[in-house]
Chain A
Amino acid sequence: MANIKDLKQRISSITNTRQITNAMKMVAAAKLRKAQASAVNLRPYADETAKMIQTLRAKQTIIDHPFLSLRPKKEKILLVVLTGDKGLCGSFNSQILKKTESFLKKHPNCDIISIGKKGNDFFKKHKANVIDTFTGIFQELNHKLITEIAQELEHKYLNEDYKEVVFIYNAFKSAIESEIVHKTILPVANNDELEVKKLEYLYEPDEDTIIEELVNKYTFIEVKRALAESFAAENASRMTAMDNATENASELINTLSLEYNRERQASITTEIIEVSSGAEAINN
């Protein structure tokens, strides 16, 4: 049977833990609000840009642009994996890494760009072919940094033997749910989900100029979208995980307090019995 002192100590330590998890939950919730807004607000913009490219593509039979034409002869894939910089967010990181692992099994010829500390640690352990890493960039998504990443991807795609550039990240769905997205960024894939009207469009100045400009924007927007979605999903996941942890701690404190009170009562009862039986022994 547990001793009263031990119980008391455990209760106080769990209370401390609960305070920490509760604080983390609050912080994640505050960050989530901001991250969610920026991820959700960006969606129509990103979708509309992608839609314009699809529209142009639907019209022209052959578009001669390196970002739009497939490269069937090549094999190597440039994989961009987005994880969080921190843990304690449920299955957020492990799910992404599990998905990445199965992807790597299917396509062993991959170079990896890892964004987020958790991914870096994982790939180091597994000796994967990481060519570049970024950490600590989610807090402040600035224009310059996103441009840098987008340009690096474009540059590598153009100058090296990559068949495609693939992103794997968590997309924000709701506070309790996220969805793993696995998306080919380059070459710009045909997306059937976007509703493209088959109309005869007029273009100014001309198709080629417009598509050039749109495609240049596209990579930037997709990188931004991936970063924003991932950060929102991470905070949502952390909020839920910490909420569960707080709840579990409260439950544990309740059961332990019950046990503690029972023990205390039992010891008092024994003491009373001892005293009264001692008194009886003297009286007799």
Chain B
Amino acid sequence: MINVKVILPSGIKIDQECDSCIIPGVDGDFAVLEGHTAFITKIRPGLVTIDVKKQSTDYAIHDGFVTVEDNKVTIVSERIEKADEIDKNRAEQAMKRAKERLAQTNNSEIDFRRAESALKRAITRIRTSN
């Protein structure tokens, strides 16, 4: 068993034992099982999957860092959302908006980095809620 902890600015959101979990690292998704080596990485937007007795729960995550040590996984992030907490319609609208903004390549008033990260967030949410 490994212990997964998700720490947000608003408190500790998840603190539970699990059999394995999959985390989206910047250089690719990785699964943590018992006996994983000590490891620190940055998180990219994606899905965190926590497996307990073959029951898996998905969460959408957008940024943060993760430390793995001694069968303990500690995720420090600004925000994490459980699949059923996500408003899919809202995410789809946000995706549409972001795409429209990104399409206007000749408009210098648009903050493309912001629009891009908004698009990534929306896509992650939609993927998680499916």
Contact A44 B40 (CB under 8 A): no
Contact A209 B42 (CB under 8 A): yes
- Chain B residues, Cβ within 8 Å of A214: 65
Which segment, of A83-91, A118-126, A195-203, A265-273, faces chain B?
A195-203
Contact B76 A56 (CB under 8 A): no
Contact A45 B39 (CB under 8 A): no
Contact partner of B38 (CB less than 8 A), chosen from A41, A52, A199, A205, is A199
Distance (whole angstroms) from the CB of B125 to the closest CB of chain A: 20
- Chain B residues, Cβ within 8 Å of A209: 42
- Determine whether B12 belongs to the interface, using a CB cutoff of 8 Å to chain A: yes
Contact B9 A42 (CB under 8 A): yes
Distance (whole angstroms) from the CB of A75 to the closest CB of chain B: 35
Distance (whole angstroms) from the CB of B5 to the closest CB of chain A: 9
- Determine whether B8 belongs to the interface, using a CB cutoff of 8 Å to chain A: yes
Contact partner of B40 (CB less than 8 A), chosen from A38, A41, A45, A52, is A52
Question: Beta-carbon contacts of B64-77 to A below 8 Å, as 1s and 0s?
Answer: 01010110001010
In the complex, what distance in Å separates the CA atom of A112 from the CA atom of B31?
48
With known contacts A199-B38, A201-B39, A45–B76 Cβ distance under 8 A:
yes
Question: Beta-carbon contacts of B9-29 to A below 8 Å, as 1s and 0s?
Answer: 111100000000000011100
Question: Beta-carbon contacts of A201-217 to B below 8 Å, as 1s and 0s?
Answer: 11111000110011000
Chief secondary structure at chain A's binding surface: helix
- Determine whether A48 belongs to the interface, using a CB cutoff of 8 Å to chain B: yes
Contact A48 B69 (CB under 8 A): no
- Determine whether B104 belongs to the interface, using a CB cutoff of 8 Å to chain A: no
- Determine whether A224 belongs to the interface, using a CB cutoff of 8 Å to chain B: yes
- Determine whether B7 belongs to the interface, using a CB cutoff of 8 Å to chain A: yes
- Chain A residues, Cβ within 8 Å of B70: 197, 199
Distance (whole angstroms) from the CB of B111 to the closest CB of chain A: 14
- Determine whether A184 belongs to the interface, using a CB cutoff of 8 Å to chain B: no
- Determine whether A244 belongs to the interface, using a CB cutoff of 8 Å to chain B: no
Interface centre among B9, B10, B11, B25 (most CB of A within 10 A): B9
- Chain B residues, Cβ within 8 Å of A221: 9
Contact B42 A55 (CB under 8 A): no
Contact A200 B9 (CB under 8 A): no
In the complex, what distance in Å separates the CA atom of A226 from the CA atom of B75?
23
Distance (whole angstroms) from the CB of B30 to the closest CB of chain A: 8
10 A-B pairs within 8 Å (CB atoms) are namely A41-B10, A48-B76, A56-B40, A197-B38, A203-B39, A205-B26, A205-B41, A209-B42, A210-B65, A221-B9
Q: What residues of chain B have their CB less than 8 Å away from a CB belonging to chain A?
A: 7-12, 25-27, 37-42, 65, 67, 69-70, 74, 76
Q: What residues of chain A have their CB less than 8 Å away from a CB belonging to chain B?
A: 38, 41-42, 44-45, 48-49, 52, 55-56, 197, 199-205, 209-210, 213-214, 221, 224
- Please name 4 further chain A to chain B contacts, defined as beta carbons within 8 Å, in addition to the given A41-B10, A204-B25, A213-B42, sorted by A numbering: A49-B65, A203-B41, A209-B42, A221-B9
